[in-house]
A = this chain, B = another copy of it.
Amino acid sequence: MKPFNYGIIGDSGKMGIEITNLFNEAGHKKVFSVDALNEKEEARPDLLIDFSIPDVLDRTLALGIEFSSPVILGTTGYNSYHFELIKKASAVIPIVQSYNYSIGIQMLLKCTELLKENLSDWDIEITETHHRFKKDKPSGTAIMIKEAIGKDVPISSLRLGNVPGDHTVFFGGLGEVLSIKHSATSRRTFAEGVLKSAEFLLGKAPGLYSFKDVLFKK
């Protein structure tokens, strides 16, 4: 795909660094960056990426509208107020919002939907394991899985060392157990999902898209 100029809100965070590395390798150019302490603008970005905190969402969306540039939102912890803001802005610019940009997690969600329909009387349990520094319990991704199941299933959260992130869904029938497990081994996989979303968004009509749309509605 043609090289483009991009901007990152949350530039020095772990995901900001990972995205910068991958996008630069792919030939794209960072021309805009925002952090708690700094803001740098070399040129007008064709696309904005926000992996930061919910509080700056307002400004990110205003920048997207000002630049007429699509926006990719990877920040977690949005509440209904934030989702209202996103919806409004998506009338003007195309936006992708997701709590998880891994293709593996999207496939886990697809399998989970398939299983819950066919194994309706089986027990369901979710477990998630993350590094000891993770503050929220359960993880945003575990909540996404629970929503895909569509009923109130138990979630067990383990905090161990520096595990990047494991999620498992268990289906238990009388006589058998079926489980699907996803393990992230590096953050690069999320950066690749962001790159796929960028390619999807450029040239798209205004609207609100999920990462599922990016993967399956090409």
Bound-state CA distance A137–B135 (Å) is 25
Kindly provide the distance from the CB of A183 to the nearest chain B CB, expressed in whole angstroms.
5
**Stretch of A76-84, A88-96, A119-127, A202-210 lying at the B interface:** A119-127
Stretch in contact with the other chain, from A6-14, A34-42, A50-58, A102-110: A102-110
One complex includes copies of this chain to the number of 4
Are A176 and B170 in touch, CB under 8 angstroms? no
Distance A104 CA – B182 CA, assembled complex (angstroms): 19
Tell me the minimal C-beta distance from A181 to chain B in angstroms: 5
Q: Is the CB of B161 within 8 A of A188?
A: no
- Of A123, A159, A174, A177, which is in contact with the most chain B CB atoms at under 10 Å from its CB? A177
With the chains together, A103 CA to B120 CA distance in Å?
12
Q: Are A173 and B154 in contact (CB under 8 A)?
A: no
Cβ–Cβ contact B185 & A161, under 8 A: yes
A175 at the interface (CB under 8 A from B): yes
A contact residues, total (Cβ < 8 Å): 51
Known: A103-B119, A179-B180. A174 touches B161 (CB 8 A): yes
Chain B CB within 10 Å — which of A170, A176, A185, A187 has the most? A176
Judging by beta carbons under 8 Å apart, are A181 and B183 in contact? Answer: no
**A interface with B by C-beta (< 8 Å):** 102-105, 107-108, 110-111, 114-115, 118-119, 122-123, 125, 127, 129, 132, 154, 156-164, 170-190, 192, 215
11 inter-chain pairs at a CB distance below 8 angstroms, sorted by A residue, are A103-B173, A107-B119, A110-B118, A123-B160, A159-B172, A161-B174, A162-B174, A174-B192, A175-B187, A177-B182, A179-B180
